[in-house]
Structure 1
Amino acid sequence: MGAIALALIALPAAAQIDPTITGLSAASAPTGGELVDVRQNGQKKAATVAQLTNTVQQRLKRAAARAAALNPEDAPENSDATLTMATSADASLTRIYSGVAGGNALTAMTLTSVSRFSGGRVTLDATNRFVLPVASAAPATNGNVASLLPATPSYQAWGWENEFGTEATRVQIRMAGFTSHAVRVLVDGRYVSKTPLAFAANSSGNYLTIDFGARKPRSIRIEGMQNDQIVSVAVAPTSSIWRMAGPQDRITAFVTGDSYAEGTGATYPGLYAWPKATGRYLGWYDTRQVAVGQTGYLSTGGGTRSTIRQQVASWFTVNSDLTGADVDVVVIAGGYNDYVSTPALVQPEALLTFQTIRAACPNAIIFVMGSHAGARGPDAQTLAIDGAVQSAFAQWADPRSVFVPVASDVSPWTFGTGYVGATNGSGNSDVAIAADGSHPSDLGHMIYTLRLVTALRLAIGRM
């Protein structure tokens, strides 16, 4: 892998912490609020123990370390449960949690009060079903959840999750979906099946049932996609569900860019997209695909959409459950749709984009990816666009940012000019680029995931 540009202020090493706090017993160890002396660039400064251990960098490190030891992508499947999808409800499961409090005699709590959603801002549509918009395709009005949220027709949803705890023997999730879409289920952090389970009907009458062999407390996490919706969760009257505490280090990540970051090309974009898989590998709890297809640093999809920089203004309108200070990571993956642009014009706009995102997300570590090559070689124009982005990154000189080469990597992530259905033996694009000739296939999304995870683990380890 090629060199990764790092511009991070490292935290003080243990040896740099003032010796007055060394050798403390467990009983007298710092609790987090005490002031200690540290040395940074040779200068002695005061900091609290909490400040040293709860920076974004340290939380990223801890999350990545835990995920390296156990993440759902690598972990074996969980045989503790069986899954079925049907079009009829189990009448014995009468404790129902939905979008409306008091939906039945046993339940006075809504699903949002006893579970956690991630991947977008949880919203109720007119029929009290849950939808999770994450990005705005404005000025376009054909967002993929426009029919569900007609007051905001530019809104789009991609990969999303719902997580809760339960001691029930059987859980049934009623969902609205399409037979071309699917879901996955994790129990205690492991997939019941890594193969997605397709919906049984194009309606709101899909019933996903999770059966266990014995009753005990478990965590359940549902992975959904796009305009599919959870309607309700049902358990037996003697069972319950509850909100999980969440991970020790809850990492919120925004991934912006074009249709590559939306997940286009994958069989199930919300499940297989490289941003979501990267988050799973690195222990990011809430990865949001704020990307908009057809766009770039300069590209607006022929005037129908906005540039990446222009989209930033809508990030916390769509994701109004967050503020910029809540975002720990931003991944910027643009340039592919700027192929027809002059590189000299891409550079200043890329710089403005980086600066705008930094102003919006002051605490975030920002990872800037180079341009995608797709099935373009990578050719000279791709590399010129990539060079413009790299030059903008170097000019930006942000101390909490990392550049990750893609097309210009020593080993480009995709190379060649063939693609699925039109192979020519010139490179891995024969299998990594889908039949549309532009976007990653399922395999391509996995290549992107593993290449990016490798780069980010290295970068995080150096922080």
Structure 2
Amino acid sequence: MSDTRHVSGILRTLSGQPFANRTMTWSRSTRRAVAREGVGFVDERFFSVTGPDGTVDLDVVPGEYTVMVSLADADRYIQITIPEGEGTFNIADGMYQEVPARPLEAWETTRILLRSYLSANSGAPNPHSQGAMPAPPTVVTGAGGPAAPAAPYDMLTKSYRYSAGTLGNVARFDGGGSKPYFTDYRRFPVATRAATGGNANDGEDAVSWRAGFVVDAAALAFRVVGSSVFNYRMIVDGRYVSFTPTSMATGGRQYIVLDFGTKAVRAVQIEGSQAAAIDGIHVAAADTVTKLEEAPFGALMFGDSFTGAIGVPTGRDGDGLAVVAGDHLGLPLWASGVGGSGYVATAGSTVFALPQRIGADIERYLSEKGTPPPLVIVAMGINDIGSGGIAPAAASCFDIIRNLCPAALVFVLGPWDRAAPLAPDAGYAEVKASIITALTGRTGFFFIDTQGIDFTKSDATHPDLAGHQALGLWLSNRIRSLVRAP
């Protein structure tokens, strides 16, 4: 007897209407979760399409199935039994009936909305998919008085400042939370590094942040904290003014002027690395500044030094793989990366393991944006190689994510494979298996296998600039693929 039976006939609703030209997603009625990309889906799932008159024509292994029929208004779920036997089986004889549609989980609604958004937004062009501006504005740095930069830009007296409480009215902040620095400036911590320390103080680290504006002006000035180690880059209409960061030789109040020469409406962002800080934006009296529109989706990525942009040139943390992935997805991505950390790794008790900081970092996003992140990415594990207790630690992190972000799509990466294309490091497989174990049975969580993904390096472990660019693009493509999958 054959292992399959040919199934034909017409698939109809209970009212007798044919399901014409519809995709049928077949799943065994006794469902079994599998640990692989798309965790939460089931094994033995396959697809077929009805004909224009609702005809079915395929070979099926006998058994009981739950079949989802995709419709424009809502999906239909049908129970179908294909009995053992010889010859063609008429699907109408399968004793099937429509079953109540399972209510969508919150993350499934997010996926539908994100799928629609990504299908209409290729992510290109973006700051990392195209070169710097071919005709950039003139960039001038220097000190000035409290009200404006020095001459000849002392006409830029109309200001919106953090200390005056007006900067938030006209700026969209991405990449970190609000944190005062001195009395006049704003930093953007994203990661809870430890109990104390951090480049943003109070145990917090900043990685890469952006403040965005729509400006109708011929020239503008950003008021920033000057320092040879505080780095800034500007983005105009989706292109970097220059990939080389701007810094100042002296500290204190400094201005970065962009002189375009002609007045026009432009979308302008200032990007800072780590501890860099901004207080305001200045334009001429007759010019206008409004807030860059909030993105419909945002993401928060948890990770180690890879997410923290280690390996890129100094002052170019915005070229780290996390921000690159966000740009290619067409959405702002917060990069909560702490070097040396893992699910259990603490870099010799100098930093928090992920379970100790993940809740605080999500709350920081919620405080800034007013809603939890709809996308969460977790890229940990390389620092955990050789350690035990990874599965329960990872499970606790995933519990926290789902509790604080009930509608989020969660993408969990295996450990970065620094040995690729050669065989992975000893102990790599055990960490990967522990992460998969912690994911088993969770819906809305998607595992992304990093094993064998090669990248160019700045040292024996970390990506260099090209490696970060390549990994960011790869990650964005994997997320797009998983969101798009049925």
Q: TM-score, normalised by structure 1?
A: 0.77
Q: CA deviation at 1:296?
A: 0.7
Contact 1:179–1:199 at 8 Å: present in 2 too? Answer: yes
Q: 2:169 aligns with which of 113, 116, 128?
A: 113
Please tell me whether residue 145 in structure 1 is matched to residue 200 in structure 2.
yes
From the superposition, tell whether residues 137 and 76 of structure 1 become closer, same or farther in structure 2 (CA, over 3 Å): closer
Query: Structure 1: where are the runs of 5+ without partners?
Result: 17-35, 102-108, 147-152, 415-427
The amino acid that maps onto 1:170 is A
Q: CA deviation at 1:329?
A: 0.7
Counterpart position of 1:449: 472
Please tell me whether residue 41 in structure 1 is matched to residue 93 in structure 2.
no
Contact 2:127–2:238 at 8 Å: present in 1 too? Answer: yes
Counterpart position of 1:237: 285
Identity %: 25
From the superposition, tell whether residues 383 and 7 of structure 1 become closer, same or farther in structure 2 (CA, over 3 Å): closer
Mapping 1:289-308, distance limit 5 Å = 289-308=335-354
Moved more, 377-386 or 74-83: 74-83
Q: 1:5 aligns with which of 19, 31, 37?
A: 37
Counterpart position of 1:312: 358
Q: 1:438 aligns with which of 461, 466, 469?
A: 461
Q: CA deviation at 1:333?
A: 0.7
DSSP 3-state at the match of 1:241: strand
DSSP 3-state at the match of 2:123: helix
Q: CA deviation at 1:379?
A: 2.1
The amino acid that maps onto 1:386 is K
Q: 1:355 aligns with which of 399, 406, 412?
A: 399
From the superposition, tell whether residues 381 and 207 of structure 1 become closer, same or farther in structure 2 (CA, over 3 Å): same
Counterpart position of 1:413: 453
Counterpart position of 1:367: 411
Q: CA deviation at 1:269?
A: 5.2
Contact 1:179–1:198 at 8 Å: present in 2 too? Answer: no
Counterpart position of 1:33: none
**Which one has the bigger strand percentage?**
2
Contact 2:115–2:484 at 8 Å: present in 1 too? Answer: no
Q: CA deviation at 1:322?
A: 4.8
Q: CA deviation at 1:454?
A: 2.1
Please tell me whether residue 190 in structure 1 is matched to residue 239 in structure 2.
yes
Q: Distance in 1 between matches of 2:139 and 2:109?
A: 42
Counterpart position of 1:28: none
Contact 1:96–1:233 at 8 Å: present in 2 too? Answer: yes
Mapping 1:321-336, distance limit 5 Å = 321-322=367-368, 326-336=372-382
Q: CA deviation at 1:239?
A: 1.0
Q: CA deviation at 1:40?
A: 4.5
How many residues are aligned here? 394
Once superposed, what is the RMSD of the aligned Cα atoms? 3.1
Counterpart position of 2:155: 92
The amino acid that maps onto 2:470 is I
DSSP 3-state at the match of 1:260: coil
**Which one has the bigger helix percentage?**
1
Max Rg structure:
2
Counterpart position of 1:283: 330
Contact 1:132–1:157 at 8 Å: present in 2 too? Answer: yes
Q: Distance in 2 between matches of 1:180 and 1:304?
A: 23
Q: TM-score, normalised by structure 2?
A: 0.73
The amino acid that maps onto 1:455 is R
Counterpart position of 2:62: none
C-alpha offsets along residues 145-169 of structure 1, whole Å, 9 cap, x if unaligned?
Answer: 11xxxxxx11111111101111110
Contact 1:64–1:282 at 8 Å: present in 2 too? Answer: no
